[in-house]
Chain A
Amino acid sequence: MAAKSNLLNMVVVLGVTCLVCSGVLAGAYALTKDPIDAAAAEKTNQAIGEVLPHFTETSYEAVDLEGKTYHYYKATEGDKLIGYAVESSVVGFGGPLSLMVGVTADGVVYNTSVLSHSETPGLGAKCTTDAKFISQWKGFNPAEKKLAVKKDGGDVDAITASTITSRAYTAAVANALAVVKLLGGEAADAVSGASTQAENMEEPGNE
């Protein structure tokens, strides 16, 4: 049973408890820091791996576009540029919707991956599971298709009953493409549709 209280033992017990607990936690933090960082890095790497074709190394860079800073990973294999994995965050239906959009060097979307979202379960949250919605981004060529949901006169199939989420997703992809366009190279031509080269390309999504 509990001991009788006096000022001394109250202070001592509280003090010792706090000291021991913070000691334990500091130790635990030190021990788990590396696995936590590794898990976060693993998640990012997995997302990049999903949205881009085979590459050997990436460099993490940032660029400003219309007053907003975008972070992206430039993926290369030797000297050859494979593509960019752009982190693109927009406002969805329930809150921030954050995507990793992979764009190959020729300006075509290779694949997309949701980093985080707060969409409604069973509705907007289907942007992570709806096979039809997800697969249409593989090899989405902005030179051939209009980047807007069908309701707005574009070529993107929206998720059933989740037009706002689909619009946000589309906007995030558009932002990522604009970033790649800004980064220059062939990508710029393909996005604007000015290059004839874009039309002769094979669909990278079929690889």
Chain B
Amino acid sequence: MSKFGKLITDGLVKNNPTFVLLLGMCPTLATTTSAINGLSMGLATLFVLVLSNMAISAIAPVVPDKVHIPVYIVVIATFVTLLQLLMQAYTPAMYETLGLFIPLIVVNCIVLGRAEAFANKHGVLESACDGLGVGIGFTCALTVLGLVREILGSGSVFGWNFIGGNDGMLAFVMAPGAFLCLGYLMVLFNKFLKKD
């Protein structure tokens, strides 16, 4: 497998941000009330992750050590604000659904974490691949969690209702279901995918 391909697949299983690294829990739990919401949040994070990784890897050589965190935060916040403006303009309904958690991508530890652990030591292209891999891993985790919660909570898949009527198990759409589902998904991930 090529170097770039490996960087991308690493983010999916070995370095899966949600199930292995346990990063970015807040949006993971809060926005996965349905598969489509989880997918959108994942893609929003992916967007910021790839762009900030690229920008940070490009400027890292000239950033003095002592101010690197503030500089990275400014760069990340810029991309987040960019995303906010774009979403308000072109997907206003989704922007309203995800609400507070779009600006909160700034403090998503995944983004700053990748900048610190990877982007500031590697080239632009590699960093982009790393961002893409981790972003896809995050998106997959959110979509799966959203899907499980949607099936159990509303009896539908990507908005398509298969039980006829909206009498799902409500707890799974609400806060407790988020914690329970993520906990059990993590158990399954540990059991079947994680290699010790």
The interface of chain A, by Cβ under 8 A from chain B, is 1-6, 9-10, 13-14, 17-18, 21, 24-25, 28-29, 32, 35-36, 39-40, 43, 116, 120-123, 126, 129-130
Contact = CB atoms under 8 A, between A and B. Distances in A.
Contact residues of A: prevailing secondary structure: helix
A152 B192 CA distance: 55
B89 to A, nearest CB: 4
20 contacts: A2-B64, A5-B64, A5-B65, A9-B62, A13-B62, A14-B67, A17-B71, A17-B74, A24-B82, A25-B78, A29-B85, A36-B85, A36-B89, A39-B88, A40-B92, A43-B92, A121-B170, A122-B154, A122-B166, A122-B174
B167 to A, nearest CB: 9
A24 B120 CA distance: 22
Contacts of B96: 116
Interface of B: 33, 59-68, 70-71, 74-75, 77-78, 81-82, 85-86, 88-90, 92, 96, 120-121, 153-154, 166, 168, 170, 173-174
Given A25-B78, A25-B85, 14 more contacts: A2-B64, A2-B65, A3-B61, A4-B64, A5-B66, A10-B66, A14-B70, A21-B74, A25-B82, A28-B81, A28-B86, A29-B85, A36-B85, A122-B173
A35 B64 contact: no
A13 B82 contact: no
Given A5-B64, A5-B66, A122-B168, A13 B71 contact: yes
Given A2-B120, A32-B88, A39-B88, A13 B173 contact: no
